[in-house]
Amino acid sequence: MRFRILVKRYDEGLAAALKTEEEFGIVSRELAEFADLLHTNETLRRILLSPFLETSKKNLIAGEIFSAQAYHPKTVRFLGLLLRHRRLDLLPEVMAALPELWKEHRGVVTFEVRSVVPLTGVQSRRLEEELSRLEGRPVFCNYLLDPAVVGGLTVRKGNFVYDVSLKGQLERFKENIRER
């Protein structure tokens, strides 16, 4: 991800500005609509991302779009901020990272769980309960199927990985043998 720290700052500011789950949903949807508009309209994208066009002119063009679409005031302010700082190109990355940061801002920890086969309802519920107990706060698990995980599963939180897969156990066994 380009400009990871910058993207996180924009996401943190937006997450702090949003007050309710409803507001988060509205703003997220509108940001996605605007990103889709930029993606499908090459001329608009070139104009709004051009380093040669004055910001005031870009704001006039974007303002027409915002009013025509009747965007939420926080959506307009956020997109205006990206435009002013010439960071509109970061919008897809900001949107990709926003849901996890929103959950974190609300006190929910996100985990990525990878397994070869889908976990049953009982298994996923037990895992979430145990992770919640360990974290001391609510958790959200994003479940992914990964054929590279040979038996068991891997659980990732940020840069930390709990590897309870057969492949992980074999790797640790291999390391132990090398150390002797």
Do 99 and 169 fall within a single domain?
Answer: no
Closest CA to 89 of 58, 48, 54, 28: 48
Strands (E), the chain: 109-115, 139-145, 153-157, 160-163
The CATH number of whichever domain residue 46 belongs to comes to 1.10.520
Residue-level pLDDT at 2: 57
Structure tokens at 113: 């769980």
Do 97 and 121 fall within a single domain?
Answer: no
Residue-level pLDDT at 168: 66
Mean pLDDT by 10 residues, the chain (180 residues): 80 92 94 94 92 89 90 95 92 91 86 90 93 91 87 84 72 73
Q: How many domains, in total, are found in the chain?
A: 2
Determine the structural domain holding residue 96 and report its residue range: 4-103
Point out the domain boundary residue: 80, 103, 126: 103
Point out the domain boundary residue: 63, 86, 103: 103
Do 55 and 132 fall within a single domain?
Answer: no
Point out the domain boundary residue: 87, 103, 119: 103
Please state at what angle helix 91-105 crosses helix 73-84, rounded to 10 degrees: 130
Residue-level pLDDT at 164: 73
Dist CA 101 CA 110 (whole Å):
9
Do 125 and 167 fall within a single domain?
Answer: yes
Do 138 and 98 fall within a single domain?
Answer: no
Residue-level pLDDT at 173: 67
Do 13 and 87 fall within a single domain?
Answer: yes
Do 43 and 128 fall within a single domain?
Answer: no
Residue-level pLDDT at 30: 95
Dist CA 93 CA 1 (whole Å):
7
pTM, to two decimals: 0.70
Do 88 and 11 fall within a single domain?
Answer: yes
Do 13 and 51 fall within a single domain?
Answer: yes
Do 80 and 138 fall within a single domain?
Answer: no
Residue-level pLDDT at 166: 66
